[in-house]
Amino acid sequence: MKVVVAPDSFKECLDAGEVASAIAEGLYSVIPDAEVKLIPLSDGGEGMAGILTESLGGELVPVKVTGPVGETVEPRFGRVGRTAILDVASACGLNLVPKERRNPLIATSVGVGELIVAAIQSGCEELLIGLGGSATCDGGEGMMSVPGLRTIASGVKIKALCDVDNPFLGPDGAARVFGPQKGADPQMVEKLEKRMELQAARILSQTGIEVSMIPGAGAAGGLGGALHAYLGAELVPGIETVLDVIGFDREIVDADLIITGEGTSDLQTLSGKVPMGVLRRSMGIPVYLLSGRVKDRDSLLAAGFAAAIQVTPDGIPTSEAIKPDIAKTNLRLAATRILSS
């Protein structure tokens, strides 16, 4: 039996490689001679730079930049020839901010601009930038405050990998949809939306580009829109691009089943997240979804997943479930249930 294990990370808990390894341990406990192919994935969020750089045989370059709440953080960007691979989560990620300090009215994307400058000054002429997992909702204002960024990036080819297709503004925009996930209460969400409106107007006056309703412009708190307008970035679907780069279609040939997963699966899963990207490319191979929490199960099954399995037993609080050892145990047990059935 050949099984492909291709999950996203469980945010604030396990990276994608750790998730894949835990699932594999469960599989081997049932069928020791199974052929298990591990393909950790990202849709542009946390860990994308490492995943793609390793897949392409590049090197990871450490730098120091300004973190989302002003402290110094040390992200790494991947370098493969003249191409740099960055994920904004490493510079302004939600995982970099303790829960009690999360406030998207304060969090800044300055570090993203500094990371881009470092990558270009290292000699890279093309950038793949993963947009996802940010703590920010500043519309790229912080990023663009880095001195000389537009000049330094002039002529550099940039692809921005979006993990969502949300626009810059409106009911489906960056502030209203993702602000609460980043620590914003209802009053803060309204302030964020007003600030994003001002930023959209500023972008229009400075670039001539109206970003308000561009799909993907709301990714990473509006960094998608800013990268597109100021630096000429092409906004592309994150998971589709990652799957192309790693040669996913080739890797799943002759597989009997595919297991994917993420921290929480719900209706947003169907809008370009890792599991949906895997499902779309599955070529008729059954795809099992293992996630920490599962909501909207009927919709997930209707989309085509063979099963949508919540690995966290009912009654366990999230604070307990996200402890790495507990999450790994739950993943192993869930994987054994798939093969046992």
The answer to whether the predicted template modeling score (pTM) of the entire model surpasses 0.85 is: yes
- Whether 291 and 264 have beta carbons less than 8 Å apart is answered as yes
Is a pLDDT exceeding 70 seen at residue 341? no
Q: Count structural domains, the chain.
A: 2
Alpha-helix runs per DSSP H in 107-218: 110-121, 141-144, 149-152, 186-207
Burial class of residue 26, CB neighbours in 10 A (0-12, 13-18, 19+): buried
Residues 141 and 267 in one domain: no
Is residue 245 included in any domain, yes or no?
A: no
Burial class of residue 315, CB neighbours in 10 A (0-12, 13-18, 19+): exposed
Is residue 143 included in any domain, yes or no?
A: yes
Tokens of 319: 């604070």
At 305, is the secondary structure helix, strand, or coil?
A: coil
Is residue 140 included in any domain, yes or no?
A: yes
At 104, is the secondary structure helix, strand, or coil?
A: coil
| The pLDDT of residue 185 | 96
Alpha-helix runs per DSSP H in the chain: 16-30, 48-56, 89-92, 110-121, 141-144, 149-152, 186-207, 219-231, 238-246, 248-251, 274-280, 297-303, 318-321, 324-340
- Whether 39 and 245 have beta carbons less than 8 Å apart is answered as no
pLDDT digits (tens, 9 = 90+) for 269-304: 998 799 999 999 999 999 999 999 999 999 999 999
Is a pLDDT exceeding 90 seen at residue 51? yes
The number of beta carbons lying within 10 Å of the beta carbon of residue 227 is: 32
pLDDT digits (tens, 9 = 90+) for 139-196: 999 999 999 999 999 999 999 999 888 999 999 999 999 999 999 999 999 999 999 9
d(CA 262, CA 11): 8
Long-range contacts of 200-206 (CB under 8 A, 24+ apart): 200/139, 200/168, 200/169, 200/225, 202/141, 203/139, 203/140, 203/229, 203/230, 206/230
Is residue 196 included in any domain, yes or no?
A: yes
The CATH number linked to 182 is: 3.90.1510.10
| The pLDDT of residue 340 | 75
- Whether 246 and 55 have beta carbons less than 8 Å apart is answered as yes
Domain boundary (208, 239, 270) is at 239
pLDDT digits (tens, 9 = 90+) for 60-118: 999 999 999 999 999 999 999 999 999 999 999 999 999 999 999 999 999 999 999 99
> Which domain covers residue 110, as residue numbers?
48-239
Residues 129 and 164 in one domain: yes
Mean pLDDT of 301-323: 94
The CATH number linked to 287 is: 3.40.50.10350
The pLDDT-based confidence of 42 (bands split at 50, 70, 90) is: very high
d(CA 51, CA 44): 10
Arithmetic mean of pLDDT over the chain: 95
Residues 149 and 208 in one domain: yes
Strands 234-237 and 65-66: unpaired
| The pLDDT of residue 12 | 84
Residues 73 and 210 in one domain: yes
Is residue 246 included in any domain, yes or no?
A: no
| The pLDDT of residue 163 | 83
Mean pLDDT of 246-263: 96
Residues 56 and 9 in one domain: no
pLDDT digits (tens, 9 = 90+) for 218-232: 999 999 999 999 999
Is residue 163 included in any domain, yes or no?
A: yes
Domain boundary (239, 272, 290) is at 239
Is residue 195 included in any domain, yes or no?
A: yes
Is residue 249 included in any domain, yes or no?
A: no
Mean pLDDT of 119-139: 97
Cβ-proximal residues to 103 (8 Å cutoff; 6+ apart), any chain: 183, 184, 188
